[in-house]
Structure formats: C-alpha cells, structure tokens
Structure 1
C-alpha cells in the first residue's frame, strides 16, 4: 500500500506543478495507520507525520525542495492584483541561474581592500621594519623599493602587496595604477618553544616566533594625486640643478695642485725675513 501511494504521488508530481500539502498528510497518515504501529509513527504533537526522507526517492525529494512549497518567495497574491509577494528576511536572496552574483543592485564598492598572510616564520619586529618602509607609498613605488631592499622580509611584504593589488583589481574593479598602501601592520603569531641544549648537561627554552602581515590598500584621491605630481616635479628640478653643477672642466680647474707651500706664501716669507 505504501509503495502504491508513493508511486501515485510521483505520477502526480510529474503531471502537476504544485503538490498540495493536504494530499501528502492524508496519504502519509493513512499508510501510517494501516501498515505501521503507533510506536513507529511520529505523533503530530512531537514531530512531522509520515514516512522519513530515506523512504522517499531522491528525485521526488528534490522536486519538493525546488517547487517552493515550504517558502513564500514564489507565492502570488490571489484575488487582489495590487498585492505583491514578500519574501521572509530569514531567507537568503535568490540567485539567478546564469550568474553567481546576487540580483540586488545596492551592493556598494568597498573603499579599502586587504590581504593577509599568516604563519610567517620570522620575528614580527623584523617584518615590521620592512612594513614600516612602505606605509603611505604608492603600490608601484613600494614594489620597486622592495625589489632593491636587502632584507629577508622584503620578499614576504612584496608578495602580500602584490596579492592585495590583485584582489583590488580583479575582485572589486580598482585601478591598479592609483592604489596606495593605506596600512601595513604586523601581528604576533604563535611562538613555538623548543629545547636549547647547553653545556654541562643543562638545557633551556628556545622560541620559534611566527607572525602575520596585513596590508590594506585604497585608491588615492585627486588632491593626493596632484600633491604627488608636485613633489615629483620638485624632485626633478633639484636633481637637474645638482647635475648642472657637476661640470667636468670646472672640476678640473678648481682642483688644486698638491704642494707643501704655495708660491705666494714663499714670497711673503722672503719679504718679511730677508735673512731667510
């Protein structure tokens, strides 16, 4: 009897769009009263009525989930055309089939993007020395500076800044040429303790420090961009002014010839002391 009722429900699911919940309750209660004892059936006060999900086929179970019987999202207002269905705030927003993004257009672009690297096997004090160097710099300038920095932590900071720039440009649509390092700070990680062997059978505790690095990027404003351009022009003028001073022939003329005494001092000495 149970198999025939389930077979009829499957046939009804393939022919109709929505299966009424009253039919499910009526068939399940009838099968429960005929085939099962009272101990095997669950009372309506304690739980749901009917067979378990294991007895229902996977196709029919997926049909019930996708048909929207237990949700109010696809319900239409009957009788009054002015009413519109409203979804529960506890249900997540429905996603479209073509794209993985939500249909809500009110998602704002973040002002800052970050990248975090955990488990760095180095002291946080040493990593912070390099992180302090690139704070407030443009991303392109920071990457160039880290390439010529002779520090072991420079490679780690370079990798995190590059990852943050990729996150900003790929995930959030930032312009990679207008990014600036807003923050670069180091946090203390797990300190592992190891045995340090000393002389004469003694021992001590040796610590293996770990840390984590966080880099936060943002786009520069128009005022900051104008200020950076002004500083570049001033630095170029200073550099060209110094280059003009370094003229080779002037350096050769001003270079004095080495001597213990010049001619003028020798003549002055003779005039002051004729006996010399």
Structure 2
C-alpha cells in the first residue's frame, strides 16, 4: 500500500472511531420496502424513533428497531455512559441493495418465469445533538 493510500485509510479509520453506527447485512426483503421504514425515522431523536418503529405494522420495522438498539448500545459502549432522552438522534440511515437470488417458477406451456428474491443492507449512524451545535458555533 502506498503512503498516500495508507494516510487516507488511517484518516477514515480515525473518523469511524468517533462515530457510532450499526450495520445489518443481507436482510431478506426488498430495498424498496426497507427504505419506506427508513424514511419514517430519518433524522428523528432515537427514543422517539423506537416508539414509531415499535408500533409500525411493517415487518421491516422490527429489524430496523433492533438495529437502532444496537447502534445506541454501540454509542453507550464508546462513551461509557447511558444515553439520555433527547441526547441522540439518527444522523444517517441508508439502505443499499444486497445480493439478489434468481429463481425460476414453472409457467404454462413449458415456460419459466424469473423470480428475483432481493435483499438489502441497512446502516444507521447515531450522533449527539450537542456535537452538532458545537460544530455550528
């Protein structure tokens, strides 16, 4: 690895240490369905988002709720204290397309219809409100 690449890699690694996040990979539902749930909670305070996810009828909301709890736990582990109400918010939540399993379903007259079983990857980054206010001042 060249010196320039090593420096930028170390810089990225240092930036990731300051941010608390959680990643869920290979969720067996389409990215479109998961993005609908992600859009509901984007930018919300985390405990309010947990309430929204808990009472949502979507199947994907249960998985996002569990992932959000993991991100909160990661933040608490890094900062060595419990998160208080109104302190954390969802900075970014992104849903990326995962691997697609391609299957064939029998169809009339000897044909086969293609079925695409999609999957997705979800990433949640949580941050404190106070840190954002300090950067703006």
Paired position in structure 2 for 1:169: 76
Who is 1:215 aligned against? 124
Residue 172 of structure 1: how far off its partner (Å): 3.4
2:98 is the alignment partner of 1:189: yes
Instruction: Specify which structure has the higher proportion of strand.
Output: 2
Paired position in structure 2 for 1:122: 29
Query: What's the CA shift for 1:175?
Result: 4.7
Moved over 6 A (4+): none
- Relative distance call for 1:157 and 1:109 in structure 2 (3 A) is closer
Deviations 1:165-189 (A, max 9, x none): 0011023336512111000110110
Residue 140 of structure 1 pairs with residue 47 of structure 2: yes
User: What does residue range 50-89 of structure 1 map to in structure 2 within 5 Å?
Assistant: none
Cα distance 1:220–1:110, how it changes in 2: closer, same or farther (>3 A)? Answer: farther
Q: Secondary structure at the match of 1:122?
A: coil
> How many residues matched?
118
Partner Cα separation in structure 2 for residue 170 and residue 109 of structure 1: 14
Cα distance per residue 1:144-201 (max 9 Å; x no partner): 1111111011001101100000011023336512111000110110001001111122
Residue 8 of structure 2 is matched in structure 1 by: none
RMSD across aligned positions (CA)? 2.2
- Asked if the contact 1:175–1:219 (Cα under 8 Å) also holds between the matched residues in 2, the reply is no
Aligned 1:265-276 pairs, distance under 5 A: none
Cα deviation for residue 205 of structure 1 reads 1.3
Deviations 1:37-70 (A, max 9, x none): xxxxxxxxxxxxxxxxxxxxxxxxxxxxxxxxxx
- Asked whether the 8 Å contact 1:188–1:212 carries over to 2, the reply is yes
TM-score under structure 1 length normalisation: 0.40
TM-score by length of 2: 0.78
Shift of 1:209: 0.2
Structure 1 distance, partners of 2:101, 2:15, is 42
Q: Which has the larger radius of gyration?
A: 1
Q: Runs of 5+ in structure 1 lacking a partner? A: 1-106, 225-276
In 1, Cα distance between equivalents of 2:119 and 2:77:
30
Pairing 1:33-48 to 2, within 5 Å after superposition: none
